[in-house]
Amino acid sequence: MKIETALLSVSDKTGIVEFARALASRGVRLLSTGGTARLLAESGLAVTEVAAHTGSPEILDGRVKTLHPKIHGGLLARRDSAEHLDTIARHGIDRIDMLVVNLYPFRETIARPDCSFADAVENIDIGGPAMLRAAAKNHGTDAGGVTVVIDPADYSRVLAEMDQGGATSYALRLEMAAKTYAHTAAYDGAIAGYLTSLAEPAPAQDAVPARHDWPGTLTLQVHQAQALRYGENPHQQAAFYIDSPRAAGLLGNYRQLQGKELSYNNIADADAAWECVRSFDTPACVIVKHANPCGVAVAQDTLHAYQQAFKTDPTSAFGGIIAFNRPVDAATAEAVSGQFLEVLLAPGYDGAALAVLAAKKNVRVLEIPTGAGHNDFDIKRVGGGWLVQTPDSYNVPRDAFKVATKRKPTDQEMDDLAFAWKVAKYVKSNAIVFTGGGMTLGVGAGQMSRVDSARIAAIKAENAGLTLQGSAVASDAFFPFRDGLDVVVAAGATCVIQPGGSMRDDEVIAAADEHGIAMVLTGTRHFRH
């Protein structure tokens, strides 16, 4: 069946006038509501208001306008059923062959800091989801069905198929129906998440509701950005899904400028590098291998930051992920091109840098706009459930550092400790990080005992030819015994930063005093499993 009547009612009016004009030029009758109808009429298009079509005026401030048999009968009548078609004919109901709807901007509304409860509720669409579900259900068979369109990006595809015979294919209608149900599920999930997180009693109409820590039901909706060749290992299947909308500054906003397709491990490691490097206020470079920083440095520019970061562990840097928090210039691009790397991340690249990197055709070059956004929560899958937590986005301010020993750190030591503490937050537990002069000197990560992480960090520094004399050390969690402290002091550390909180804190602090080193407590732990 040819498309003869289309109902258009959209909040996102991108391209709607041009699409409606194209439909009209193909002989399609236009029905519409509210602001969409006014826009189309003002644009010179012949459009019939839904109220005129149904014979029922909009009521309740527009809350009821499309909930009518002439709308839903026109959408739900099966095109391959003579009985359905006879029924709507007897009741004076015309077929509606196309529905173009996108919903009230609920998620955008509740994202506003000044959103009141009343604003949120009034942006819960009722008629729109009802029509979308009806139209998607009746996408039909090869004999015909309703074409449902929710995304302006699909307008051109619909018109192209109509030009082949006035209708759309079953394959396209099925695809659009699936997309519609995903859309309405996400919409309902956002509403459910908002309402179940509200505190009791019901808020005043002009108040911003207080929120519980966690909703009773957590509904997730993510969109596939990329099907991946495989997961962590070749026998595992994988894909990359992204949030919509995505907060500014997060990896999911990347734009790939060159290189091979990203893999599962590339994306995981790139996120670890990006989150670490964007935590610094000065030019910084982070090199990551297997989700752990193996070299981090800050400097006056990206080139020197890279050179210092690379010195920490040249062996592990081979095949690593390199991230910068400043745009990359040609000199930096030349330097990183001297090593084998998988992924390069930065907020930008100048033309000369891109020309240099073009010679490394396989290197995946990602551009990520900077921003202060963070995920609302982190998720870990376990058997039969999910662990959900807020992200570890807290950075302990320096004025909250507490000196626990008789000796206080020098100003330089305090700078080194603050740098070490920032890096340790992004190293897998148990984490020990030696630093000095704005660069990492040795990193011990992911060990079952803290003392082993301390030994490994010292060994890594020795293998890289770096001295630990006068270095600073960060431990992501407290020292449960003095043995780990003894190891880092023996390696050359003169100051240590750690959360504290152990039942043996007094013993560990006494050991620091015995060694004549400075120890700072942060009161905050940074486990990363």
Q: Which of 13, 290, 311, 374 is catalytic?
A: 290
70 within 8 A of 53, measured Cβ to Cβ = yes
Hey, what are 1's tokens? 């069946």
Spatial distance between the Cα atoms of 471 and 434, rounded to a whole number of angstroms: 6
Hey, what are 437's tokens? 């002069």
Spatial distance between the Cα atoms of 381 and 391, rounded to a whole number of angstroms: 15
Hey, what are 412's tokens? 């330089």
Bond preceding residue 201 cis, omega within 30 of 0: yes
State the first-to-last Cα distance of the chain, in angstroms, to the nearest integer.
58
65 is catalytic: no
Spatial distance between the Cα atoms of 477 and 445, rounded to a whole number of angstroms: 12
Q: At which residue do the structure tokens 């910068």 appear?
A: 324
Spatial distance between the Cα atoms of 409 and 18, rounded to a whole number of angstroms: 68
509 within 8 A of 519, measured Cβ to Cβ = yes
Alpha-carbon separation of residue 403 from 284, 411, 495 (angstroms): 27, 13, 10
502 within 8 A of 524, measured Cβ to Cβ = no
2 is catalytic: no
Q: Which DSSP helix (H) or strand (E) runs through 323? A: strand 320-324
Spatial distance between the Cα atoms of 372 and 384, rounded to a whole number of angstroms: 33
Residues 6+ apart with CB under 8 A from 101: 7, 8, 9, 10, 128, 131, 132, 148, 149, 150
Angle, alpha carbons 265-271-273 (nearest 5°): 100
Q: Which of 13, 84, 137, 260 is catalytic?
A: 137
What backbone torsions phi and psi does residue 75 show, to the nearest 5 degrees? -85, -35
Neighbours of 374 (CB within 10 A): 16
Residues linked to residue 149 through DSSP beta bridges, in sequence order: 100
Q: How would you write 222-290 as a 3-class SS string? A: CEEEEEECCCCCCCCCEEEEECCCCCCCCHHHCEEEECCCCCHHHHHHHHHHHHHHCCCCCCEEEEEEC
- Residues marked as catalytic: 137, 290
